[in-house]
Amino acid sequence: MDLRELIDLLPTGAVLTYPDVLAGYRQDWAKDPAAGTPLAVVRATGTADVSTTLRWADEHRVPVVPRGAGSGLSGGATAVDGGIVLSTERMRGISIDPVTRTAVAGPGLLNAEVKRAVAEHGLWYPPDPSSFEMCSIGGNAATNAGGLCCVKYGVTTDYVLGMEVVLADGTAVRLGGPRLKDSAGLSLTKMFVGSEGTLGVITELTLRLLPAQPVQSTVVASFATLTAATEAILAVTGALRPAMLEFMDTVAINAVEDELRMGLDRDAAALLVARSDAPGDHAAQEARIMLEACRAAGATEAFHTADPEEGEAFTAARRYAIPAVERLGPLLLEDVGVPLPRLGDLVTGIAGIARRNDVTVSVIAHAGDGNTHPLIVHDPADPDETERAHRAFGEIMELAIALGGTITGEHGVGRLKKAWLPNQLGPEVMDLTRRIKDALDPHGILNPGAIL
Amino acid sequence: MDLRELIDLLPTGAVLTYPDVLAGYRQDWAKDPAAGTPLAVVRATGTADVSTTLRWADEHRVPVVPRGAGSGLSGGATAVDGGIVLSTERMRGISIDPVTRTAVAGPGLLNAEVKRAVAEHGLWYPPDPSSFEMCSIGGNAATNAGGLCCVKYGVTTDYVLGMEVVLADGTAVRLGGPRLKDSAGLSLTKMFVGSEGTLGVITELTLRLLPAQPVQSTVVASFATLTAATEAILAVTGALRPAMLEFMDTVAINAVEDELRMGLDRDAAALLVARSDAPGDHAAQEARIMLEACRAAGATEAFHTADPEEGEAFTAARRYAIPAVERLGPLLLEDVGVPLPRLGDLVTGIAGIARRNDVTVSVIAHAGDGNTHPLIVHDPADPDETERAHRAFGEIMELAIALGGTITGEHGVGRLKKAWLPNQLGPEVMDLTRRIKDALDPHGILNPGAIL
């Protein structure tokens, strides 16, 4: 494919073809070994560049893989051979309107950058993936990303009021706007959230913001058994709505403790970290209720701190669990979710899958909303272990489906989970998905191989 | 069209063809004078009946107008000549899971019935259209309905986690489920919310619930000018997030006072009713802040009550405004919305439109989210006044669009606002809408004439 026309149409330096640059854009964090090598990377400087690229690609039937910060965990940004990787990392504008409590943000801004910019106006953008310091807001919208606060505050789609999105043929359209209420026409904004770059490329987001939250109270509790921990989770969520309710199993506790040396109980089967952000002394009240619930469920140790730094240290420990467990070996990373009453069945079922397949699976979880991250440790140099790890990866998704859950709570389907999607959705929903895809991207250039 | 095959396929009594029954299903509350006369009304008893009806209609190319409680205000359920009105009013099951805080509800349940059923479990379904005692939850989902609490708690789509929906060809599909987080595939659930029966017929909803809210504090304030009232609105929303912030103009105040005799200030240009539902004494604190904001903006009278009955009386007065103003004459009912800083421009602009067209327009508003209900009073027997009223109806929508707003915040486009939708969305978004419609309903049988 001759790239000269595209190079001429775009600003100088926007099209990169150096082999080592291309190598850096082949994979996202899913590290898909089947990743292809792109023809070129386009680093768009704005909507016009995205339009130009898609118009050219649609005309020449060249596949385009949209990419944010490349921190995706399902291979949604895995490059395909002969395609373009279209990066939005340079589209980083932001404007904030404190009166409507909205921000208009470029897709290339990191989640943490959005949080910091709005905090200057006393505002808060809630969704908080553990990777918030390195994931982009555009990628968050493309995957309908979640995080720790979602148990109380919802997920990305709940904060996207509008967007500019470029369709497969290069047409840029504006959807929604800085209005909480808008019933004019189909809910197209919401349709593009979570579409993983298969329907269009988001070039701007209008985000809903909340007032900054008060300082939080944090509860930390250790449990000798998984059953006691899942009982505590149900007791806490039954009593109130925590602002966070996180879970780490013994593998994760020990991996984190190896690195951070903060005195976590290495003998515990599970650790819960919960938070309240109720106003004033209500936070302490809620913390006491959560503490009581943990103790009644048999916590071996449980305490409460109103000190924000101490609370943040435990939250950071939980966020650090994935990189810490990764020190044990490369990971196959899941994000299966189930309705909360089935969480215990999921966690014990995963332990069984690990045993039967003779692999280490560490489970961390956004426990309050039933969304778990089983981390399957394996050695890719060991073909037998790799096969067992991949078998466990599939069995965990099948277990989640059997428990009425989802194969992905917040990472998206990408390419790694695609084979299991029909099992969850069924043929009719897959057909519906295909009809929408074909209507919006008739030549199939947008992120081919993702979701479908 | 021979209905015998359909009558044979459906349960006895499901297909009604008596002329006076048909007459009762020709219009919704929009009272569209252009309503057609349907061939038949199908009162489905369950998903199977909906599937059977759509399969038959798709095969025979018979238009189907889905209908909930018939309380729509944009003509979304206006019957078309030679079509079927498919009513979900008999699909009224509900099951509630207090652990996941979700309910699975039939579309024919009234919003108030859902609220009451979940309240028995200490739970709350927030969206609260003023018509909540007579509008159906299925219709709420079809229009992405709003209400009074949305300023703090969001709109219907924020509470729909899943659904069963029957597609144009009769295929029933299940989307989403009782999981706050789910990134598996396209966000199809959200796409059907607000689609006004043009893409499918919702036969079951999985709703997210919140814990029941504490008793609320209510602030009531009167203003001598519209400008003072809109200043107070911005001051209140700038200081905190009210649980409700409602507006009535002098016409509405007097119409309500004529009926309810509760001592509203008949000389006021505007009345605000605001609420806090913060926990414990924080509600009183927030009420004091709102009271101060109203006084600083020049309220002629302002008071605060922590008595729930007294607070509810003022909220009920606001809810009663539409029927009260309707006593002055038949209404053309708007629900235009703008970004909050433009609310003053919208309200004063509407006054100018009323003056220029020599019609009475009363404005009530969910002021805190910029969503207004201009009520255009006119006498349909007076062709000149009717023409001026319709001109004002269009000009108000054009004003909202010019102010960066929407022609419909919560009622939907239906048939009455369709002509203005392209002005708001533009040709590219209309084309995108058309592509999705054609992909899902290739024979165009679903609610033809609504939205598109």
- Residues A222-258 have pLDDT tens digits of 999 999 999 999 999 999 999 999 999 999 999 999 9
pLDDT computed for residue A262 by the predictor: 94
Two tokens, residue B203: 């036969």
Pure H helices in A261-303: 282-296
Class of domain A217-322: alpha beta
Query: What percent of chain A clears pLDDT 90, i.e. is strictly above it?
Result: 98
Distance from the A263 Cα atom to the nearest Cα atom in chain B, whole angstroms: 32
Distance from the B262 Cα atom to the nearest Cα atom in chain A, whole angstroms: 31
Class of domain B4-87: alpha beta
Given a cut of 90, is residue A1 above it in pLDDT?
Answer: no
Q: Which of residues 243-262 of B touch A (CB under 8 A)?
A: none
Kindly report the CATH number that applies to the domain delimited by B94-211: 3.30.465.10
Q: Write out the H or E segment, with its range, that includes residue B245.
A: strand B244-249
Question: pLDDT tens, A156-209?
Answer: 999 999 999 999 999 999 999 999 899 999 999 999 999 999 999 999 999 999
Q: How far apart are CA B299 and CA B267, in angstroms?
A: 13
**Numbered ranges of CATH 3.30.70.2740 in chain A:** 329-411
Distance from the B250 Cα atom to the nearest Cα atom in chain A, whole angstroms: 25
Please report the DSSP string for B75-89 in residue order: STT---TT-EEEE-T
- Which residues share a beta bridge with A67? A87
Class of domain B329-442: alpha beta
Two tokens, residue A17: 């073809």
Q: Which of residues 202-221 of A touch B (CB under 8 A)?
A: 210-211
Q: How far apart are CA A220 and CA B92, in angstroms?
A: 44
Going by the DSSP 8-state scheme, the letter that residue A110 receives in this structure is B
- Strands B64-67 and B84-87 come out as parallel
CB contact under 8 A, A155 and B440: no
Average pLDDT, stretch B30-43? 96
Q: How far apart are CA A405 and CA A346, in angstroms?
A: 10
User: Would you call A334 an interface residue with chain B, using a CB distance cutoff of 8 Å?
Assistant: no
Two tokens, residue B394: 């269009």
Distance from the A238 Cα atom to the nearest Cα atom in chain B, whole angstroms: 6
Cα–Cα separations (whole angstroms), residue A178 to B128, B149, B244, B342, B405: 21, 18, 19, 12, 8
CB contact under 8 A, A99 and B238: yes
The answer to whether the CB of B311 falls within 8 A of the CB of B289 is no
pLDDT computed for residue A256 by the predictor: 97
CB contact under 8 A, B339 and A195: no
User: Would you call B406 an interface residue with chain A, using a CB distance cutoff of 8 Å?
Assistant: yes
Interface probe, candidates B74, B181, B342, B430, chain A, greatest A C-beta count within 10 A: B181
Average pLDDT, stretch A432-439? 98
Residue A333 main-chain phi, psi, to 5 deg = -110, 125
Q: Under DSSP, is residue A104 helix (H, G, I), strand (E, B) or coil?
A: strand
Q: How far apart are CA A408 and CA A414, in angstroms?
A: 10
Distance from the B263 Cα atom to the nearest Cα atom in chain A, whole angstroms: 32
Residue A75 main-chain phi, psi, to 5 deg = 75, 25
pLDDT computed for residue B109 by the predictor: 98
pLDDT computed for residue B318 by the predictor: 95
What is the 3-state composition of chain B as percent helix, strand, coil, each rounded to the nearest 5?
40, 20, 40
Given a cut of 80, is residue B215 above it in pLDDT?
Answer: no
Q: Which of residues 157-196 of B touch A (CB under 8 A)?
A: 157-158, 167, 171-175, 177-188, 190-191, 193-195
ipTM of this predicted structure:
0.96
Judging contacts by C-beta atoms under 8 Å, the chain A residues touching residue B279 are: 278-279, 282
Two tokens, residue A410: 């917040």
pLDDT computed for residue B214 by the predictor: 79
Given a cut of 80, is residue A284 above it in pLDDT?
Answer: yes
Two tokens, residue B151: 């300023």
User: Would you call B448 an interface residue with chain A, using a CB distance cutoff of 8 Å?
Assistant: no
Confidence of residue B1 (pLDDT cuts 50, 70, 90): confident
pLDDT computed for residue A213 by the predictor: 86
Q: Cβ contacts of residue A342 below 8 Å, gap of 6+?
A: A370, A403, A404, A405
Residue B374 main-chain phi, psi, to 5 deg = -65, 130
CATH topology of domain A329-411: Alpha-Beta Plaits (3.30.70)
A76-90 as b/e, with b when 16 or more CB fall inside 10 Å? bbbbbeebbbbbbbe
The answer to whether the CB of B144 falls within 8 A of the CB of B155 is yes
Judging contacts by C-beta atoms under 8 Å, the chain A residues touching residue B232 are: none
pLDDT computed for residue A216 by the predictor: 83
The answer to whether the CB of B102 falls within 8 A of the CB of B159 is no
Distance from the A89 Cα atom to the nearest Cα atom in chain B, whole angstroms: 23
Question: pLDDT tens, A378-427?
Answer: 998 999 999 999 999 999 999 999 999 999 999 999 999 999 999 999 99
CB contact under 8 A, B177 and A406: yes
What residue of B is the nearest CA neighbor of A198?
B186
Interface probe, candidates B151, B186, B190, B435, chain A, greatest A C-beta count within 10 A: B186
Going by the DSSP 8-state scheme, the letter that residue B215 receives in this structure is P
Average pLDDT, stretch B380-390? 96
* Residue A307 burial (10 A CB sphere; 0-12, 13-18, 19+): exposed
Closest CA to A102 of A196, A176, A153: A176
Cα–Cα separations (whole angstroms), residue B343 to B26, B227, B424: 35, 10, 18
Q: How far apart are CA B293 and CA B239, in angstroms?
A: 8
Judging contacts by C-beta atoms under 8 Å, the chain B residues touching residue A335 are: 183
CB contact under 8 A, A432 and B426: no
Nearest-by-Cβ selection for A191 from B187, B234, B451: B187
Please report the DSSP string for B253-307 in residue order: HHHHHHHH-S---TT-SEEEEEEE--STTHHHHHHHHHHHHHHHTT-SEEEEE--
User: Would you call B383 an interface residue with chain A, using a CB distance cutoff of 8 Å?
Assistant: no
pLDDT computed for residue B280 by the predictor: 86
Give the least confident one: A145-149, A159-163, A281-285, B392-396.
A281-285
pLDDT computed for residue B369 by the predictor: 94
pLDDT computed for residue A215 by the predictor: 75
Q: Write out the H or E segment, with its range, that includes residue B105.
A: strand B102-105
CB contact under 8 A, B438 and A439: yes
Mean pLDDT over all residues of chain B? 97
Residue with tokens 């990066």: A87
Q: How far apart are CA A58 and CA A444, in angstroms?
A: 9
Nearest-by-Cβ selection for B99 from A154, A234, A428: A234
**Numbered ranges of CATH 3.30.70.2190 in chain B:** 217-322
Distance from the B14 Cα atom to the nearest Cα atom in chain A, whole angstroms: 27
What residue of B is the nearest CA neighbor of A97?
B341
Going by the DSSP 8-state scheme, the letter that residue B310 receives in this structure is H
Confidence of residue B213 (pLDDT cuts 50, 70, 90): confident
pLDDT computed for residue B429 by the predictor: 98
Q: How far apart are CA B418 and CA B450, in angstroms?
A: 7
Distance from the B289 Cα atom to the nearest Cα atom in chain A, whole angstroms: 15
Average pLDDT, stretch B314-322? 94
Average pLDDT, stretch B248-254? 97
Confidence of residue B216 (pLDDT cuts 50, 70, 90): confident
What residue of B is the nearest CA neighbor of A413?
B184
CB contact under 8 A, A144 and B426: no
Average pLDDT, stretch B22-33? 96
User: Would you call A92 an interface residue with chain B, using a CB distance cutoff of 8 Å?
Assistant: no
Distance from the B325 Cα atom to the nearest Cα atom in chain A, whole angstroms: 24
User: Would you call A407 an interface residue with chain B, using a CB distance cutoff of 8 Å?
Assistant: yes
CB contact under 8 A, A425 and B185: yes
Residue B340 main-chain phi, psi, to 5 deg = -50, -40
Interface probe, candidates B175, B183, B202, chain A, greatest A C-beta count within 10 A: B183
User: Would you call B128 an interface residue with chain A, using a CB distance cutoff of 8 Å?
Assistant: no
Question: pLDDT tens, A11-66?
Answer: 999 999 999 999 999 999 999 999 999 999 999 999 999 999 999 999 999 999 99
Pure H helices in A378-420: 383-402
Judging contacts by C-beta atoms under 8 Å, the chain B residues touching residue A127 are: none
CB contact under 8 A, B184 and A429: no
CB contact under 8 A, A410 and B278: no
Distance from the B173 Cα atom to the nearest Cα atom in chain A, whole angstroms: 6
Q: How far apart are CA B215 and CA B278, in angstroms?
A: 9
Confidence of residue B443 (pLDDT cuts 50, 70, 90): very high
**Numbered ranges of CATH 3.30.465.10 in chain B:** 94-211
Distance from the A170 Cα atom to the nearest Cα atom in chain B, whole angstroms: 11
Q: Which of residues 422-441 of B touch A (CB under 8 A)?
A: 424-426, 428-430, 432-433, 435-440
